[in-house]
């Protein structure tokens, strides 16, 4: 007896449906639906609200935090050039985190019910509905939760004066990442750098999903050998 294939009903909340796809889940999320209007995730209006974030909330909420933590380092005696160098290192650290999370966590292969469900909430929804403008940036509530262990870790690894500036650099890199990511999906860049980044990122969505993990830069794709080649792109197109 052949088991009946599960079909997702796009007219109903999706989160607790996608887990039933099992091994077919990975194929399903990489068949994108290009529509600005996103799907409903939950029956509950409260949980649905927490999944939706306007892009401008990210700089509005987090840039003041960046300024605050940098002021802590300044109050502890660091000069502005020193803070600038630490922030630059923090931004570079973020780009590596961005690459690592995208490659090894966001693109983890899943097939069980709860693993599929968790992955859909984390990143699968973005590949299924890449133009959903309210689910392109990371919800501030989740970011705030993750900042707590990061803050504690940095205080273990760095001095009391440098840890705040390092956090400021990482957080600033994250803000630039989220804003850039939104712009690459919804903007129409004319400047060559951003035109390249948009083409590079959309190539990841619509051609070669297992290459091109960098969003703000292709640096770490070059370092770790995940830069999509011209020939490979041609075969996938």
**What integer pLDDT is reported at residue 22 of this predicted model?**
95
In the chain, the N- to C-terminal Cα span, in Å, equals 38
Do 214 and 181 form a contact (C-beta atoms < 8 A)?
A: no
pLDDT digits (tens, 9 = 90+) for 195-234: 999 999 999 999 999 999 999 999 999 999 999 875 443 4
Residues ≥6 apart with Cβ < 8 Å to 232 = 208, 211
Q: DSSP string spanning 34-76?
A: --SSPPP--SSHHHHHHT---TTHHHHHHHHHHHHHHHHHHHT
Residue 228 backbone dihedrals phi, psi, to 5 degrees? -65, 130
Residue 222: the pLDDT is 96
- Structure letter (DSSP) for residue 215: S
Residue with tokens 């630039």: 176
In degrees, to the nearest 5, what angle opens at C-alpha 59 toward C-alphas 186 and 80?
Answer: 130
The confidence score (pLDDT) of residue 146 equals 95
Structure tokens at 36: 């600005």
What is the Cα–Cα distance from 73 to 204, expressed in whole angstroms?
38
pTM comes to 0.91
Task: Give the residue carrying structure tokens 């197109």.
Answer: 237
Buried b (16+ CB within 10 A) or exposed e, 18-34: bbebeeebbebbeeeee
Nearest Cα residue to 186 out of 138, 140, 136: 136
Q: Are 200 and 218 in contact (CB under 8 A)?
A: yes
170: Cα separation from own chain's centroid: 14
Q: How open is the CA angle 171-175-195, to the nearest 5 degrees? A: 140
Closest C-alpha among 32, 40, 55 to residue 10: 40
Structure tokens at 83: 């803070």
Low-confidence ranges of the chain (pLDDT < 50): 1-3, 231-237
Handedness of CA 85, 90, 96, 99 (dihedral sign): negative
């Amino acid at each position: 007896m052949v088991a009946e294939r599960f079909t997702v009903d796009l007219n109903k909340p999706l989160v607790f449906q996608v887990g039933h796809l099992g091994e077919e889940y990975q194929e399903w999320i990489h068949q994108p639906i290009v529509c600005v209007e996103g799907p409903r995730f939950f029956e509950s209006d409260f949980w649905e609200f927490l999944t939706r974030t306007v892009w401008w909330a990210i700089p509005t909420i987090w840039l003041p935090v960046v300024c605050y933590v940098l002021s802590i380092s300044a109050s502890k005696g660091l000069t502005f050039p020193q803070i600038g160098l630490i922030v630059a290192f923090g931004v570079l650290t973020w780009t590596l985190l961005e690459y690592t999370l995208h490659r090894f966590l966001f693109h983890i292969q899943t097939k069980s019910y709860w693993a599929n469900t968790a992955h859909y909430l984390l990143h699968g929804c973005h590949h299924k509905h890449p133009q959903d403008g309210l689910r392109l940036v990371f919800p501030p509530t989740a970011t705030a939760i993750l900042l707590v262990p990061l803050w504690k870790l940095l205080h273990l690894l760095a001095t009391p004066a440098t840890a705040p500036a390092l956090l400021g650099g990482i957080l600033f890199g994250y803000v630039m990442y989220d804003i850039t990511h939104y712009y690459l999906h919804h903007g129409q860049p004319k400047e060559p750098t951003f035109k390249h980044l948009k083409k590079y990122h959309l190539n990841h969505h619509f051609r070669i999903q297992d290459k091109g993990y960098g969003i703000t830069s292709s640096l770490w794709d070059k370092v770790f050998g995940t830069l999509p080649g011209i020939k490979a792109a041609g075969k996938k197109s």
